[in-house]
Amino acid sequence: MTGVGEQPKARLLRGNRAFAALWLARTSSYFGDFVTLTALVLYLYDRGASGTEMGVALAARALPQAFGPLAGTVADRWEPRRIMIACDLARVVSVGLIAVLLPPVEALIALIAVTSLLSTMFLPAGKSCVPLLVGRDRLGRANALLGFSHNIALATGPVIGAALMNWVGPRAAFGFDAGTYLVSALLLLALPGRLRRGAPAAGPGLLADLGAGLRYVARHRVVRAVALALFFSVLFAAMDNVALVYLVRGDEGGSAVSLGVATGVYGVAMVVAPMAIALSRRRFDGVTLLVTGLTLSGIGLTAVSFAAPLVLIVACYAIAGAGNGFENVGCDTVIGENVEEDKLGRVFGAVYGPIFLAETFASLLCGALLQATSSRTVFLVAGGGLLAVTLAVYLSARSARKHPDM
């Protein structure tokens, strides 16, 4: 433990060099991630890839997230700094090969899968670092700053990727991503070599540690509630990915620009929410942030189902975007506040690993619901589902506080 979080008056970025290095490293690689996603889709399209090949490539990017629990176990057994630097350097190689070779579709898909697996290994190590660097009393602001970087990259990374592909070419776009991982690795060298107070977990074996971590998640009332809340909130919230285009273009007769504006406003609201947390003088606990986020998301998507004209739909959709921003910060903060240091990696891996399943189920459910009803009905189901999740989280958190079992 570095002790940097023990200075409550020190500003996180100017007074805590280790966290500042982590924040800059994550900001760099966030931009690379979203640039590459756009470059990948455009590159495959320009090469004349079929719809099946496009789907397989995107699946290859998503499926490695299933190894999240295993990645979290690794993060608890070894020092997070070493894992993150190793993953970054390996991603420099995998994405660098794409930039240099511009390989055929089959090889490209394999390299994308390898890169995604490395990102999956990185995630729990990176998230488990935050409570160790800043202390639990400042965790909300630290996660808000990281959320701000992620959401800025989400909003602007695709634009950068498209510009690089259009004006310079695919080698520049993929090379940009490789460069962001190299910058990240160099910045992470500034982190302390040993972050935990004690030695990393080293049980009888990797699988035994994995099982112990999953049992911990299942028994811990707060963590269990967060894991279920995240899965079901993604299941409902991701339904708008399909329904929005039918609502804006079909039901309301809006243009492609209107759809872009709606998506952009949602992204801006996601940026504003964590920034408001970071700048606030108040300290918000993770449960408050999570419940606030879920509530706003549910209200926003429910309001979209009734809203008209298009400008009001966009305004309601922005409320949902702000809720998503609060929710993302809240999830990480709740875990950081309630989980022991030697189990942080496994908990983050177990909580975030199944998200890809929720997104898959959401797409299937939304498609069937759209065909049977309408886009407004989909938004109503999504918003109502989120509000139900909100109530369940609130009641679970209140019960856990009254009757702690861990």
Instruction: Please report the pLDDT score of residue 377 as a whole number.
Output: 92
Cα–Cα nearest to 177, from 355, 381, 50, 31: 31
Residue with token string 């510009």 = 163
Q: Confirm whether 10-200 and 205-406 share one CATH topology.
A: yes
The rounded distance, in Å, linking the Cα atoms of 36 and 97 is: 13
Residue with token string 């009254």 = 402
Who contacts 62 (Cβ-Cβ below 8 Å, separation ≥6)? 116, 356, 359, 360
Task: Report residue 337 as tokens.
Answer: 């506040």
**pLDDT score of 364 more than 80:** no
The rounded distance, in Å, linking the Cα atoms of 406 and 400 is: 9
DSSP for 175-223, please give it: HHHHHHHHHHHHHHTTS-S--SSSPPP--S-HHHHHHHHHHHHHH-HHH
Average pLDDT of the chain? 86
Instruction: Please report the pLDDT score of residue 405 as a whole number.
Output: 52
The rounded distance, in Å, linking the Cα atoms of 196 and 76 is: 10
Alpha helices for 280-309 (secondary structure H):
286-306
Task: Pick 10-200's CATH classification: 3.40.50.620, 1.10.357.10, 1.20.1250.20, 1.10.1740.10.
Answer: 1.20.1250.20
The rounded distance, in Å, linking the Cα atoms of 72 and 105 is: 31
Instruction: Please report the pLDDT score of residue 1 as a whole number.
Output: 35
CB 244 within 8 Å of CB 114: no
At the topology level, CATH places domain 205-406 in Growth Hormone; Chain: A; (1.20.1250)
**pLDDT score of 12 more than 80:** no
Mean pLDDT value of segment 19-29: 94
**pLDDT score of 211 more than 90:** no
The rounded distance, in Å, linking the Cα atoms of 73 and 350 is: 9
**pLDDT score of 390 more than 80:** yes
Instruction: Please report the pLDDT score of residue 212 as a whole number.
Output: 84
Alpha helices for 339-402 (secondary structure H):
344-352, 355-372, 375-402
Whether a cis peptide bond, with omega within 30° of 0, leads into 309 is yes
Instruction: Please provide residue 103's backbone torsions phi and psi, each rounded to the nearest 5 degrees.
Output: -70, 165
Instruction: Please report the pLDDT score of residue 403 as a whole number.
Output: 56
Cα–Cα nearest to 237, from 310, 295, 313: 295
Other Cβ atoms less than 10 A from the Cβ of 268: the count is 17
DSSP for 118-169, please give it: HHHHHHHHHHHHHHHHH-GGGHHHHHHHHHHHHHHHHHHHHHHHHHHHHHT-
CB 347 within 8 Å of CB 335: yes
The rounded distance, in Å, linking the Cα atoms of 261 and 249 is: 12
Give tens-digit pLDDT for 223-259.
888 999 999 999 998 888 778 878 887 788 877 677 7
Cα–Cα nearest to 297, from 169, 381, 201, 386: 386
Mean pLDDT value of segment 60-76: 88
Domain boundaries, the chain: 10-200, 205-406
